[in-house]
Amino acid sequence: MLVSKKNTRTVVGKVITYLLLITICFLFVLPFLWMIRSSVIPLHEILKMPIVWIPENIVLSNFTQALTVLPFGRFFMNTTIILVLSVMGILFSGTLAAYSFSRLDWPGRDIVFYILMTTLMLPSFATLIPTFLGWRSVGALNSYLPLIIPNWFCGGATGSFSSVFYIFLLRQFFMGIPKDLDEAAKVDGASHLRVYFQIILPLAKPAIMVVVLFASFSIWNDFLSPSIYLNEVEKYTLNLGLRLFSGMYNAQWNLMMAAATVVTIPPIILFAFGQKYFIEGITFSGIKG
């Protein structure tokens, strides 16, 4: 008797859990689905009341129209150039620093590391104005240099996200690689540079993947820096293009949703393929931090 009562209770509990989860997840994904739906529906149908949930005939003309009004192909290229060069920079300075902070013994090492980490707390607005004035004084406004160069020094802050975070993540991972490996190599006379290239980097591939994904994502997402440094439309990133577009077509929701979809699809694809690394990375930084 007692057992069956307990069983009913667990079954009820399970059903409630599933119902709540399905509801929450549905609400979370609904805006995304609504964007996709609104991007393939003709204007006269999108404004119809009551709402046409699923378009009667799916049209792709919204995309062709949205993409030809503004040079979104160009914006895509611009964003990609900034992204690739920035991520390369983050990997360069991030892995080198992480190697130093995890594998090399030098006096003051940990203090220097923690001082660098304090910049995680630094709001990007606090450094924004002098940094802007600095780039202005060297004539680099309206170029990609202010968006790319800081990343080569792990000194960039994209959004509210400082690049030193990647040093933290990589160092954490490097510390987990057994020390015997590089000790053995050093006995054989290998230099630090060789240990770094031939032992640490190949073993750190998962961590590097996490950094590449996080960094790509935050650069793709960045809005503040491009909006401050870029003022010619040909140099715009996708996000700036999207904002410009919304100013021009603010009542044509089908076109706006088509443009938003175009900007959203690449990170969604990236997420679909790299999901495992995403989850690992977040877990890692959250728990160990």
* Residue 153 makes contact with another protein by CB under 8 A: yes
Q: Which of 8, 18, 84, 138 binds another protein (CB under 8 A)?
A: 18
Residue 31 binding another protein, by CB under 8 A? yes
Burial (CB < 10 A; 0-12, 13-18, 19+), residue 40, is: buried
The number of beta carbons lying within 10 Å of the beta carbon of residue 55 is: 16
Cβ at position 191, least distance to another protein in Å: 8
Nearest residue (CB) to another protein, 53 versus 57: 53
Measured CA angle at 33 (ends 30, 38), to 5 deg: 120
- Site pattern 90..119 for another protein (x: CB under 8 A): --xxx-xx-xxx--xxxx-x--x--xx--x
Positive or negative torsion for Cα 151, 156, 160, 166: positive
CB 119 within 8 A of CB 208: no
CB of 205 to another protein, least distance (A): 19
Q: Rounded to the nearest whole angstrom, what is the least distance from the CB of residue 114 to another protein in the complex?
A: 12
279 half-sphere exposure, CB direction, 13 A CA radius? 5
Residue choice 58, 134, 175, 248 for contact with another protein (CB under 8 A): 134
Q: Is 68 in the site for another protein (CB under 8 A)?
A: no
Selected binder of another protein within 73, 125, 175, 248 (CB under 8 A): 125
Instruction: Show Cβ contacts of residue 122 under 8 Å, excluding neighbours closer than 6 positions.
Output: 157, 162
Q: Which stretch binds another protein (CB under 8 A): 11-19, 55-63, 65-73, 175-183?
A: 11-19
Of 215, 223, 197, which Cα lies nearest the Cα of 277? Answer: 215
Which of 212, 275, 122 has its CA nearest to residue 283? 275
Structure tokens at 47: 């404004």
Residue ranges of E strands in 10-117: none
Binding segment for another protein (CB under 8 A), chosen from 16-24, 68-76, 177-185, 201-209, is: 16-24
Position 49 contacts another protein (CB under 8 A): yes
DSSP 8-state assignment for residue 227: H
Among the listed residues 7, 8, 12, 29, the single contact to another protein using CB under 8 A: 29
Residues 259-278 that bind another protein (CB under 8 A): 259-261, 263-264, 267-268, 270-271, 275, 278
Residue of 154, 199, 207, 208 interacting with another protein (CB under 8 A): 154
Q: Is 164 in the site for another protein (CB under 8 A)?
A: yes
Length of the chain: 289
Q: How many residues bind another protein, per CB under 8 A?
A: 98
Tell me if 135 sits within 8 A of 145, measured CB to CB. yes
Q: How far is the CB of 278 from another protein (least distance, A)?
A: 7
